[in-house]
Structures are given as C-alpha cells and as structure tokens.
C-alpha cells in the first residue's frame, strides 16, 4: 500500500497538542456533571455561539470534508446544492418553526417529543431505529478514519481504531454532552483554520477563480457535457441527462432540498440535541441560524478544493491517485482528493495542522453519534421500557455505561465494515428507508392538530415500506439489479444515476407517509386532548415573543437575512 503522506516531528507535536486539549476540556468539565440532565442535556446552560458552532460541527464528519471534496471533483459546483438548497433552508425552518416545540415542550429528545405528541409506539419505533443508526454511523466513521490513516501514513488499523475510540470515550465519559459540544467547537475552528490555507494555496496555484472556470471546461467536455457544467450550479439542470449528477431540477429541489435535507436537519436528534442544550428558548432558536452563516460559506472550504483538484488533474498533472493502479480504466479515487491536496501543498508544520483537522472531522462525527445514542438509549429505551422510576443517579450511571457500550458496538461495526463492505451499504439503505418519511410525520404533528398516534405510526411504517418497494422497482444506469443497488423486484424505473434514484425514493417515501398519516388520522379518533397538545402543535401554542430583542437576536429577522444571502449565492454561481 503506497503511503502518500510523511509526517515530521513537528506534525506529530501538533497532533499531540490537539489531543491534549481535547482530553483536557473533558477533564475540566468533569466537576460540572452532577446529574443525568447535566450529562445528557448539558443542563441547558450552554451559550448560543457554542451550541451554534457545535450544531454545525456535529454534522461536520468525515462525509463533509472527504465526501464534499470528492463530489466537488466528480460533479463540480452542483455539489453546492447540498448547502444552498439543502441545508440552509432546512436550518432556517428548524429555527423559526420547529425549535419552539422541541425546546418548549421540555422533551429531552426527539423520540420523546413523538411520545408527547403522538403515542408510545411512534416513539419506540423512532428511538429503536435511531439508536441502531447512530452506533452504526459512528462505526462507519471509525472504520473510514482507520482505513484512511492506514493508507496515508501506514499506521496500524487496529491501533487507529482503539486510540480514536478511547479518546472519544474518555472525553464523553468525563464531561458528557457538554464535553462533546465544547470539543465540537474546538474541532470546528481546527477544521476551518486547518483547511483555509489549502484553499488559498490551491486557488493561487490554479490562477484564481476565472482561470479555474476556463480550466474546468475540458473536464466537462471530455465527459460530453456542456462546457460550463462544472462551474454553473443551475444552468444545466433542466434534464437529468445534462449534468454528471444525473438529476433534474425537480428531483433535486423536492428530493434533496425538501425531503432529505428537512428530514435530516429538522428531525435528526444528533443535530437537534445541540440546539436543545442552549440556555434559553431564544438561544435554541438562534442555534441553527448561527450555524447557517458559516455553513453557507463551507462550499468554498470543502467543494472548491475538489474542483481545483480535478482542473489541475485534467490539465495533465496526475497527482490524484487512481482506484486501482493496475487498471486505470476504473478511474480516479475521488475520496483521496482532500488528502492528495494536503500532500501536494502543505509543507511539514502546516501539514500537521491539516492532518489533525482531518482527524478532528472524523472524531466530531463519531462523538456526535455517541452522545445522541446514549441519550436516546437511556431516556427513550432504558427508562421507558426496561427500568422506569429509578433515582437520577441510576440513569447517570446507565448513561455512562451506554457510552461505553455504544463505543464498543461502534468498534464492532467498524470491523464489520472492514470485512463486509456490502453490509454497510445495506444498512445505510435501510436507514434511508426509515429516515425519508420522518419529516412528513413531524410536519403533520407540529402543524395539524388532528394528526393521531395511529396515523403517525402507520404512516411512518407505510412510508418506510413504500421506500423499500420503490427501491425494489428502481435501478440506475450502470448498476445491475441487486439488493443494494435496487431493482430487486423488477426494473420498472430506470434512473440516470444513483443520486437521482435516491432523491426519488425519498420523494415517494415522504408522499406515502404524508398521505397515509392524513388518511389514517381522519379515520381514527384523536388520542390527545387540546390541553395535552399545547406547546406541541403550532395552532395551540402561544407564539414566542421576541419584540424586545435587538434585530440580530430575533430568529425571524435573522432567518430571512440568511435566506436572502443564500438566494444571492445561488444567483452568483447560477
């Protein structure tokens, strides 16, 4: 296995200093953890700039840094739709419309909100699927980290797994959610300040933005696309055949922008938990908005380097590694875009900083999953079904045990991923089935008081089933029908790309859940009284007042400004 990075003494020094601070923060926070709410919810005491950056950073896992650079090279600037159509509008929606119910209901987790709003079975379904999903995601993160370190520097895979898992374990055990959140902020600055000089150097090397646009023309034409495909985000979306993503504007806006992004940002406890730890309702609502501002600019940090890399590569400088050196026809290993850029531009010293930032991105993803898991496990599964009515100290102990247990299972999953790549693809697929319809349940739950427990539960199950059936009937160009790739029932729908297939699967699942929930709710009796639903449903909840606050503290004003800025960004790179 070729090693493409060589670390010098100074690089190791930076790595060691960083992990010293990570563990030190956990140690310093130890004395604040007195009860289970401190451990799981940070006692709702965290200042808003911290929850905002942690909200962003918990999602800033390996997929973001490695994956978005890879997509930048593979698809060009269209990758920015994940931010400017997907994430930002969803974050604004969460802040303005949904956060009042999450924070105001005093629910301790997203599944608990479902229990208060609907019933026990809806909560159980969500809690179980979420718990399984988080440990597996954290395992996949861990595996990806160890595999990358092994390929890049030749570190031992097993040591990487054990050392990274232990570091995450120690700082969560010491300081609970607060420690995870504080470290996520540290990781945020590390990632931004570790990769910013890379963008600067790469852009300088290629000759600036306008030269980059010219150099991206042959990348597009070589694959039979219009010349501007890699540098124009919307121009080439009228049909799925015009762009490398293989999606049309409708599939993208509705599938990615509406269903998938709103589903993730508005209902995934991993991110929502950060906002729930804020010290006031106003702070909880501003958390996603504070996160949205840097998020808006992240394409420059993670997508732009990928675009530069492919421009330099196609100009004849073949510094990106191939998937298989013996068989060049398999193409470039896009996942190595970011590491290859680090190796190309960073001298010893700065390389330590960039490399540490890369490790930090993996760990923030993992820690986010683990803290979400231990909360859902302890409150929504253990306290609800296994051992209710115990003293608080018992649940605090269980939370610590769940952290240990969650990390142990993650390590197991990492080895499983190393052994059977297909199992992981399979699991991610199942998660997609479960996640896609969820936003319909929340939307109806929060804005339609007539939605019932039976409607929500069967709507969710039906949506999940619809996703699975649609997946069985759909396949994408270049993939033979299989359990993982789809088309295992029949090949009824053929998509131009897997991404298009996924977007449409989400649309189908959401629509099925939405219609079923409405239908079943109308056919069943409301199981909650209006009094029980106060604080949980829009029409029954007094609107939060923020007139006395200055404009920059009013969620609606800030939200509108964020949306306007996003529209400007879309137009600038149209």
Partner 1 sequence: MNFDLRLPIGLMFSLFGTVLSVYGLMSDAALNKKSLGLNINLDWGLVLLGFGGTMLFFALRARGRHGSNPPPAK
- Residues lying near partner 1 in the complex (CB under 8 A): 10, 13-14, 17-18, 21, 24-25, 28-29, 32, 43, 45-46, 50, 178, 182, 185-186, 189, 193, 197, 201, 204-205, 279-280, 344-350, 353
Provide the minimum distance between the beta carbon of 301 and partner 1 in the complex, in angstroms, as a whole number: 15
Residues near 225 by beta carbon (within 8 Å), at least 6 away in sequence: 236, 242, 243, 244
Candidates 267, 369, 374; CA nearest to 36 is: 374
Lookup: tokens for 467: 């996703």
Provide the minimum distance between the beta carbon of 320 and partner 1 in the complex, in angstroms, as a whole number: 16
Choice between 83 and 346, CB closer to partner 1: 346
> Is the distance from CB of 305 to CB of 337 less than 8 angstroms?
yes
> Is the distance from CB of 459 to CB of 467 less than 8 angstroms?
no
Choice between 185 and 260, CB closer to partner 1: 185
Provide the minimum distance between the beta carbon of 484 and partner 1 in the complex, in angstroms, as a whole number: 40
In our burial notation (b when 16+ CB lie closer than 10 A, e otherwise), range 207-237 reads eeeeebbebbbebbeeeebeeebbbbbbebb
Hunting for tokens 């504080």 — which residue is that? 182
d(Cα 246, Cα 252) in Å, to the nearest integer? Answer: 10
Provide the minimum distance between the beta carbon of 349 and partner 1 in the complex, in angstroms, as a whole number: 4
Provide the minimum distance between the beta carbon of 135 and partner 1 in the complex, in angstroms, as a whole number: 28
Choice between 201 and 300, CB closer to partner 1: 201
Hunting for tokens 């231990």 — which residue is that? 374
d(Cα 265, Cα 470) in Å, to the nearest integer? Answer: 24
Choice between 396 and 509, CB closer to partner 1: 396
Choice between 25 and 98, CB closer to partner 1: 25
Rg of the chain over all Cα atoms, to the nearest angstrom: 23
Provide the minimum distance between the beta carbon of 146 and partner 1 in the complex, in angstroms, as a whole number: 25
Provide the minimum distance between the beta carbon of 277 and partner 1 in the complex, in angstroms, as a whole number: 11
Choice between 187 and 501, CB closer to partner 1: 187
Instruction: Name the β-bridge partners of 495.
Output: 476
What are the C-alpha distances in Å from 286 to residues 280, 298, 365?
Answer: 10, 19, 22
Candidates 456, 310, 370, 347; CA nearest to 133 is: 370
The distance in angstroms from the start CA to the end CA of the chain is 41
Choice between 341 and 508, CB closer to partner 1: 341
> Is the distance from CB of 266 to CB of 517 less than 8 angstroms?
no
> Is the distance from CB of 190 to CB of 357 less than 8 angstroms?
yes
d(Cα 173, Cα 3) in Å, to the nearest integer? Answer: 34
Q: What angle do CA 434, 500, 466 make, to 5 degrees?
A: 35
d(Cα 255, Cα 268) in Å, to the nearest integer? Answer: 17
Choice between 193 and 568, CB closer to partner 1: 193
Provide the minimum distance between the beta carbon of 304 and partner 1 in the complex, in angstroms, as a whole number: 17
Provide the minimum distance between the beta carbon of 336 and partner 1 in the complex, in angstroms, as a whole number: 17
Pairing of strands 474-476, 493-495: parallel
Choice between 349 and 478, CB closer to partner 1: 349
Provide the minimum distance between the beta carbon of 354 and partner 1 in the complex, in angstroms, as a whole number: 10
Choice between 198 and 512, CB closer to partner 1: 198
């Amino acid at each position: 296995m070729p090693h493409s990075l060589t670390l010098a003494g100074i690089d190791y020094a930076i790595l060691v200093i960083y992990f010293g601070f990570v563990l030190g923060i956990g140690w310093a926070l130890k004395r604040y953890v007195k009860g289970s709410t401190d451990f799981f919810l940070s006692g709702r005491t965290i200042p808003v700039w911290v929850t905002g950056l942690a909200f962003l950073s918990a999602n800033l896992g390996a997929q973001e840094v490695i994956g978005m650079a890879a997509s930048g090279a593979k698809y060009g600037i269209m990758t920015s739709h994940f931010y400017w159509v997907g994430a930002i509008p969803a974050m604004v929606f969460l802040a303005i419309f949904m956060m009042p119910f999450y924070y105001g209901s005093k629910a301790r987790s997203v599944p608990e909100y479902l229990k208060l709003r609907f019933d026990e079975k809806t909560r159980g379904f969500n809690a179980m699927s979420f718990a399984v999903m988080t440990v597996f995601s954290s395992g996949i993160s861990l595996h990806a980290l160890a595999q990358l370190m092994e390929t890049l520097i030749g570190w031992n895979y097993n040591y990487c797994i054990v050392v990274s898992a232990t570091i995450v374990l120690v700082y969560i055990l010491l300081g609970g959610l607060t420690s995870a959140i504080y470290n996520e902020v540290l990781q945020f600055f590390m990632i931004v300040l570790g990769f910013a000089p890379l963008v600067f150097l790469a852009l300088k090397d290629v000759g600036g933005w306008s030269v980059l646009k010219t150099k991206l023309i042959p990348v597009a034409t070589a694959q039979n696309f219009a010349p501007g495909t890699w540098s124009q985000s919307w121009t080439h979306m009228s049909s799925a055949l015009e762009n490398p993503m293989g999606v049309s504007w409708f599939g993208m806006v509705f599938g990615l922008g509406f269903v998938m992004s709103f589903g993730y940002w508005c209902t995934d406890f991993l991110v929502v938990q950060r906002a729930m730890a804020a010290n006031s309702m106003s702070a909880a609502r501003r958390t996603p908005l504070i996160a949205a501002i840097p998020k808006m600019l992240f394409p420059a940090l993670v997508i732009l380097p990928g675009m530069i890399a492919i421009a330099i590569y196609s100009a004849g400088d073949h510094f990106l590694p191939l998937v298989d050196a013996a068989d060049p026809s398999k193409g470039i290993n896009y996942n190595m875009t970011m590491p290859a850029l680090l190796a190309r531009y960073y001298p010893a010293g700065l390389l330590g900083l960039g490399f540490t930032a890369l490790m930090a991105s993996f760990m923030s993803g993992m820690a986010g999953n683990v803290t979400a898991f231990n909360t859902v496990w302890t409150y929504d599964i253990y306290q609800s079904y296994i051992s209710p009515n115990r003293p608080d100290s018992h649940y605090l102990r269980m939370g610590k045990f769940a952290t240990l247990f969650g990390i142990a299972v993650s390590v197991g999953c990492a080895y499983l991923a190393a052994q059977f790549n297909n199992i992981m693809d399979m699991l991610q697929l199942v998660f997609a089935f479960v996640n896609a319809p969820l936003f319909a349940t929340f939307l109806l739950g929060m804005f339609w008081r007539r939605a019932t427990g039976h409607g929500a539960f069967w709507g969710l199950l039906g949506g999940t089933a619809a996703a699975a059936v649609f997946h069985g009937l759909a396949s994408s160009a270049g993939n033979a029908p299989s359990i993982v790739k789809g088309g295992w029932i029949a090949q009824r729908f053929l998509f131009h790309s897997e991404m298009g297939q996924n977007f449409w699967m989400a649309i189908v699942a959401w629509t099925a859940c939405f219609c079923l929930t409405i239908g079943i709710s109308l056919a069943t009796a409301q199981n909650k009284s209006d009094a029980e639903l106060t604080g949980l449903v829009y029409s029954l909840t007094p609107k939060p007042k923020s007139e006395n606050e200055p404009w920059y503290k009013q969620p609606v004003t800030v939200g509108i400004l964020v949306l306007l800025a996003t529209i400007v960004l879309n137009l600038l790179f149209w």
